[in-house]
Amino acid sequence: MAACAGSSTGSSSGAAAGTPKTGGTFTVELASSPDGLDPGAIGTHAAEEVTNQMYAELVSQSPAGAYVPWLATSWSSNSDASVWTLNLRHGVTFQDGTPFNAAAVCFNFDRAISPSEQSKGAGILLAPMKSCTAVSTYQVKVTFKQGYEPFLNALTTPLLGMVSPTAVKKQGANFNLNPVKGGSGPFEFVKWIQNDEIELKAWPGYKTPPAGASHKGAAYLSNITFKIVPETSVRIGSVVSKQFDAAETILPAEYASLKKNPAVNVYNVAEAAATYQLAFNTAKAPWNSLQMRQAVQDAINVPQLLQAIYFGVEKQAWSTIAPNVQYYDSSLENSWKHDSAKAGQLLDSQGWKMGPGGYREKDGQTLTLQDVDTSPDANSDQQVDVFLQQQLKSVGINVVIKDMTQAQEDSAIQAGNYDVVGTSLGLSSPNVMNFLFNSAFIPSATSFGFNWAQVNNPQLDSLLSQGQGTTNQAQLQSIYARAQQMVASNVWTIPLYVTAYTFVAGSNVHGISFEFAAYPDFYSTWLS
Amino acid sequence: MGLYALRRVLVGIPLVVGVSVMVFVILHLVPGNPVAAALAGSPATPTAVRNLEVQYGLNRPLWTQYWDFAVHAVHGDLGQSYTDGQSVTSLIGSQLGATVQLTVAALILTAVLGIAGGVAAAVRQGGRLDQLLRFLSIWGSSMPQFWTGIMLIILLSFTVHLFPASGTGGISYLVLPAVSLALLSSGIVLRVVRNATLETLSQPYVTALEAKGLSRRAIIRRHVLRNALIPAVTVLGVQVGSLLSGAVIVENVFGRQGIGSLLVTAIEQKNYPLVQGLMLFIAVTYVVVNMIVDISYGYLDPRVRTTMSEGRR
C-alpha cells in the first residue's frame, strides 16, 4: 500500500518526482461495472478497485509482502492459529463519525459470515470463523473452528475493508449501492450513476494511512471519478488523447507502443495470486492419467505462446502460485520445457497411435481435448485456446474449443463437461491453493468450488490443512513447497503465465501506487 | 379508424405474451446456472446455493415460475436483479433515457439521410450523385457498427478533438454513437426511398402534371414524396428494431448508459429477471412502434383509410 509495488515497472518513480499538489478531479476508466460498493457484498475485481479507495483495512501488506499495521496496531495468535488477538488503533472514526473500535470490527466480521447477508468474497475468507469477541474497547478476539493462518492475509484484502456499523444499519440492503459516509478510507462515496460513473471525494477527516505511507492526513486529490468504458481501444485512446486521466487493462499488442509514448506512463504489476493455469479434469479419462497430462505439457511451447499472444507482457509461470506470493517454491523454475518428441513417446506408450487424419486414435476413438472458455473474454484467453489447438495438433491431439458465456461455463464445470479449462484466482496468500486443490472445493451440481482440476488427494488435503494450522514460518515454507511440488509433479494443472495488472495514466498523474495484490491505490496520487 | 387501431392493439397482446413465454423457455433451456453467476464465482457451500435457489424460487416448477413472473409483470413488477438486488423496473428506468435519446437521434438521422438521399438519388438517376449515394448506402449498411463506431472515435475524437469518445451526456456525447447507428439503417432506407421515388416518377400522372406545366420541385414535393414516404415509413418502423439491437453494440463501444449494455451483462450473468424484464420491454416497444407505423399509413395515404373502412363492412 505504501509505495509502488516492487514488481511494478514503468516510469512511476520519475512520475513521483516534484512536490505534490492538492486538489483536482482524477478520472479513471474501468473495464466493467462494479457489482456493488459494500466490501461485505461484492465479489468482482472492478468493485474492489473502487472500494479500495473508500475503506481502510486492519492490516496492510508492504511491497515486499510483509504484513504491516493499518487499523490494527498489532496481532498475535496461539500456536495452531485458531485464536487471534487484534489490538486496534485508538482515536479513529468512520466517515460518519462512528467510533472505530472492537465492536465495529466484530460487526464487520459477523456480517461477513452471516447467512442472511449473502456475502460473496468476504464470507469465503472468513468461512472458518466461529466467533468474534470485543475483549476491550480496542482489543478483539477472533476464534476459528480450526487453525486458520490465512486470516492475517485475509485482513489485507479490500473485501475486509472496515465499514461503519451505523451507516450499514441506516441504509440496510441499500448500502451496497449507496454507501454514504460508510467508509474508513481516504475517499468517501458521492454518487453512482449506473453504467456510467462513480464519483468519490476526499474525506478531510482521514488521518490513518498504513505504516510506511508516503504522506499523512487527507488524500491529495479532491475527487475521483470512475468511468465505465468496456471497449479496450476506446478506454486507452481516451487517456492518450487526454480525455481521461487513467485507465485499467491494456491490450498486450498496444503495450510496447504505449510504453514509448511520452504522454503516458504505463504500469505493469505482477499480481500476487494463483497463476493463469490450465486445469485438467483429472476425474475424466483419458486425462486422469499422469502420462497423458505430461504429454500435453510437453507439447506446449509456453515462451512462444506468450510472445505471440502477449508480446512478452505476461511472464512465464512455473508454479500454481505467483513468485511474489509467500512461500513460493522457486525450485520449480525451469523444471520442464517444450519437447514434442517426448510428448509423442508418452502418447504412444499409452496406446494412442497416430491415425490417418493426423490425430491419435485408440480403440476407434480420436484423442480429443475439450477446452471450455468464456466469451467475451478480457485477457486474450481465446487466442491462447487457438494457439494450444495448433501446438497440440502437431502431436496428434484434437483440441475442441467450446466458447460459452460465464454462466454456461459455470454449469459445464459443475457438470464436469470439460477436459481442460483455464483458471486463475486472485488471492495473495498461498492458501489460494486450498481453494484450487482441496477436495472440499470440487464443483458439483449443488456446490460451486474452484477445484476445477477435480483433485481428490487426501495427502494434499491434509497438507493444506496443516498449512492453515500453524504459524511457524519454517513449517509453512516446507508445507507449501511440498504442496506446489505435488501439483507440479502430478501435472494437475499446467501453469502458463503470471497474471499482470496493467494500467495507463497521463504524464500529469503522479504518485499512483499498487497494493501487494496489485490493486491501485490513489491516496498519494496528485495531478500537475 | 378507431376500430382499426383497437384491432392492432388486440393483435399486439398475444404477440407480447408469446415473446415473454419464448424468452422464458429459452432462458431456462440454455445451460448455465444463475446461482453460480449471482455468487460471482465464489466457492459457495451447498447450503448457500440451496438458500439462493429457494430465495429466487428456482426450485419450483417452471410453469409456476412463469405464472409468478407474468402476474407480477402485469402489475408492473418485473422482479429483482440477481446480482445486486435492485428492482428490474428501476434498473430499466435508470438506463432508458440514454437509450431513447440514442435511438430517437439515430432514427431522425436515418429518416433525414435516407429520405433526402433516396429522393436526390432518384431525381438524378444514373448521374454522379446517384452513383455516389448508392455506393455510400451499400458501404454504410455493410460496415459493422462496432467498426464504424471505433473508426469515428479514432477520427473525430482521438485525432481531431471534436467529440468525447465515451460517456453519457449532452448532444456532443450523442453525435458519434447516433451516426454510427444511423449509417447502417439510413443506407437501407435510402435504397427503398430511391426505388419508390423512381417508381412514382414513372407513373403517367407525373407526366400529366409535367404537361400541365407544374415545376419539377412542386411535383416532387407535393406528389412524389408523399407516395414514396409510405415504404419509407414501413422500413423506418422495422429499423426501430434494428436500431434498438444496434444500441446493444454501440452503447458498449461508446461506454454509454443504456438498456443495451444492461442486457449484455444480464445475458452473460444469466440474470433471469433482468433478461426477462428487458426482453419484455423491448418486445412491447417494438409492437407499439409497429402499431404506430400501421396507423400512420392512414394519415399518409387516404387510400389506406378507405381500404380499412371497406374491410370493416
ipTM: 0.80
Residue A99, pLDDT score: 97
Residues in chain A with CB shorter than 8 Å from the CB of B153 are 234, 237
Residue B155: how many CB atoms within 10 A of its CB? 13
Q: How, if at all, do strands A223-228 and A246-248 pair?
A: unpaired
Q: Does A134 touch chain B (CB under 8 A)?
A: no
Confidence of residue B271 (pLDDT cuts 50, 70, 90): confident
Average pLDDT over residues B161-189: 91
Between B50 and B218, the higher pLDDT residue: B218
- Is residue A334 exposed (0-12), middle (13-18) or buried (19+ Cβ within 10 Å)? exposed
Q: Measured between beta carbons, which residues in chain A are less than 8 angstroms from residue B44?
A: 124, 447-448
Q: Which three cell numbers stand for residue B107?
A: 432514427
Task: Write phi, then psi, for A444 (nearest 5 degrees).
Answer: -145, 180
Can you give the pLDDT at residue A437?
96
Write out chain A residues lying below 8 Å of B87, CB-based.
none
Nearest CA in chain A to B92: A194
Whether the CB-CB separation of A374 and A405 falls below 8 Å is answered with yes
Cell 439491437 maps to which residue? B245
| Nearest C-alpha in B relative to A115 | B48
pLDDT of residue B49: 67
pLDDT at B218: 85
Residues in A closer than 8 angstroms to B258, CB to CB, are 195
Q: Which chain B residues have a beta carbon less than 8 Å from that of A123?
A: 42, 48
Q: With CB atoms and an 8 Å threshold, state whether A177 touches B86.
A: yes
| pTM, 2 dp | 0.87
Three-class secondary structure of residue B104 per DSSP: helix
Quote the pLDDT of residue B202.
87
Question: Cβ separation of A408 and B30 shorter than 8 Å?
Answer: yes
> What local confidence, expressed as pLDDT, does residue A110 receive?
94
B25 Cβ neighbours under 8 A, 6+ residues apart:
none
pLDDT exceeds 50 at position B312: no
Query: Would you say residue B69 has pLDDT above 70?
Result: yes
Q: What number of CA atoms fall less than 13 Å from residue B6's CA on the CB side?
A: 4
pLDDT of residue A38: 93
Question: In this complex, do B84 and A35 lie within 8 Å of one another by their Cβ atoms?
Answer: yes
> Measuring CA to CA, which residue among A278, A314, A290, A313 is closest to residue A424?
A278
> What is the predicted pLDDT for the residue at B232?
84
Helix pair B302-312, B2-29: axis angle to 10 deg: 90
Out of B35, B40, B255, the one facing A231 most closely (by C-beta) is: B255
- In this prediction, residues B141-168 reach a mean pLDDT of 91
- Is the separation of the CB atoms in B268 and B34 below 8 Å? no
Helix (H, G, I), strand (E, B) or coil at A495: strand
Give the residue from chain B lying closest to A437, CA to CA.
B43
Q: Please give the backbone phi and psi of residue A13, each rounded to the nearest 5 degrees, phi first.
A: -70, -40
The minimal CB distance from B85 to the residues A33, A173, A449 is found for A173
User: Where residue B313 falls among pLDDT bands split at 50, 70, 90?
Assistant: very low
8 A C-beta contact, residue A113 and residue A148: no
CA-to-CA dists, residue A324 to A269, A335, A497, A515, A517, angstroms = 11, 18, 13, 12, 9
pLDDT for the residue numbered B304: 66
Residue B259 to residue B95: CA distance in whole angstroms: 5
For chain A, residues with pLDDT lower than 70 are 1-17, 118-119, 376-379
- Closest CB from A120, A177, A405 relative to B40: A120
A163 in Cβ contact with A179 (< 8 Å): yes
Grid coordinates in use for A310?
A: 502477449
What per-residue confidence (pLDDT) applies to A11?
38
Kindly state the helix (H) or strand (E) to which residue A385 belongs, with its residue range: helix A381-393
For chain B, say whether A231 makes contact (Cβ under 8 Å). Answer: yes
Nearest CA-CA distance, residue A408 and chain B, Å: 4
Beta-carbon contacts below 8 Å between A and B: 157
Alpha carbon of A334: minimum distance to chain B alpha carbons (Å): 32
Contacts of A197 in chain B (CB under 8 A): 167
SS3 content of chain A, % helix, strand, coil (to 5): 30, 25, 45
Exposed/middle/buried for residue A260 (C-beta within 10 Å: 0-12, 13-18, 19+): exposed
pLDDT digits (tens, 9 = 90+) for B71-92: 888 888 888 888 777 889 998 9
The pLDDT, as a whole number, for residue A93 is 96
Name the residue of chain B whose CA is nearest to A34's CA.
B84
Closest chain B residue to the Cα of A176, Cα to Cα: B84
Please tell me which residue, B286 or A95, carries the higher pLDDT value. Answer: A95
Q: Which of A238-242, A405-409, B143-147, B239-243 has the lowest mean pLDDT?
A: A405-409
What is the per-residue pLDDT for B306?
62
Our CA-based measurement puts residue A46 at a distance from the nearest CA of chain B, in whole angstroms, of 12
* C-beta separation of A432 from A450 below 8 A: no
The residue of chain A nearest to residue B167, with distances taken between CA atoms, is: A196
Q: How far is B275 from chain A (nearest CA, A)?
A: 13
The whole-number pLDDT of residue B19 equals 85
Comparison of pLDDT for B24 and A377, the residue scoring more: B24
Beta carbons of A406 and B37 less than 8 Å apart: yes
On chain B, the residues whose CB falls within 8 A of the CB of A435 are 43
Tell me the residue ranges of DSSP E strands in A78-173: 83-88, 129-136, 139-144
Residue numbers in A near B34 (CB within 8 A): 407
Tell me the C-alpha to C-alpha distance, in Å, between residue A322 and each of A65, A96, A332: 12, 39, 12
